[in-house]
Amino acid sequence: MQINIARYSKLISPKDTGHNEEREEKLLERCPPGHEGTKLVEIPATILDASGAIIAWYLLDTLTNATQKEIWAASDLLAPMLEKSIKVDGNWQTNQGWFNPSSENDALTPGCINLSPAWFQQGHENQSDPEVSASLKGATSEKILKAIARPAAIATVALRVMHPEQYWAGL
């Protein structure tokens, strides 16, 4: 693709939400998308930017139907927590305005939860012993952890292959 993703990433910030039309127009002027046209990809592929950096992997049928069903089942277990996480006056992570039900499948509950062990303690000094994430302090926690174990392992393997630096930084 005729876009330099590194250059583009230096121009944007976390505050760029895609909702400011004037800002989006300026970004498009400075980093216009290529005009390669539409290409149908039917085989596994790596999509590169103008500098050769990988910007996307297309891995057709990587997740079998059984694995996809497993992920949906795990998502269903998370639904009550996801639903409770959205607030009318929430911060940028939990504000209701950022979460809309999918038009394709309203069965997936939008929301924002963190399942990282000791996540809260990592951001605060003088905390005693690490604790389980607040999202996992409930009656269904063990069931959720068992349900997400295999999908999480698949995602971890993909990260190890696709972005080894990020993988090792997380260990």
pLDDT digit string, tens, across residues 118-170: 666 766 776 667 777 777 777 888 898 899 899 999 999 999 988 899 899 87
Say what the pTM is: 0.61
Read off the DSSP letter of residue 134. G
The winner for highest mean pLDDT among 17-26, 37-46, 120-129 is: 17-26
pLDDT above 70: percentage of residues in the chain: 86
**Do the beta carbons of residue 148 and residue 74 sit within 8 Å?**
yes
**Do the beta carbons of residue 99 and residue 71 sit within 8 Å?**
no
Tokens representing residue 94 in the block: 């939990």
**Do the beta carbons of residue 11 and residue 4 sit within 8 Å?**
no
